Amino acid sequence: MVSIDEAVLLLRGYRDGQDPLRVAVRSSTFEFSGFCTVHKVEDDAVSFWIGEGKDSAISFDLTDCLFDFRDVPLEESDAPLKRKSESCLGVVRRKDDFELLIMLLMC
């Protein structure tokens, strides 16, 4: 397990380095995945710039979430990636079926 403080530090490092990421979000009502960089990290939220520009963003509330490192899921490893994923931070919200995967891409 990864604490929220450690996850926030990691996400801030991704933001500061403008590291290329892929996010995948799943719940019982929707799915989304895309290439991104971290836009903003707060103690209880993270937002990502989606795609190449800085005109589309998506944000997530991290309240009541559990964090862990895991293998990149097979369905994401088969995605049309320009680069392989290096690592994967998993985020699961305890009170619903929300799951967010944040995958660091190799340069």
As a whole-number percent, the residues of the chain with pLDDT over 90 amount to 48
Domain 4-105, CATH class in plain words? mainly beta
Report yes or no: 24 and 89 within 8 Å, Cβ to Cβ.
no
At residue 76, does pLDDT exceed 70?
no
Q: What is the dihedral of CA 68, 69, 73, 78, to 10 degrees?
A: 140
In this prediction, residue 74 carries a pLDDT of: 67
Domain boundaries, the chain: 4-105
Residue pair 105/22 in contact (Cβ under 8 Å)? The answer is yes
Tens of pLDDT, residue by residue over 26-75, are 888 989 888 899 999 998 899 999 988 888 999 999 989 999 998 877 66
- What is the reported pTM? 0.85
pLDDT band at 78 (very low <50, low <70, confident <90, very high): low
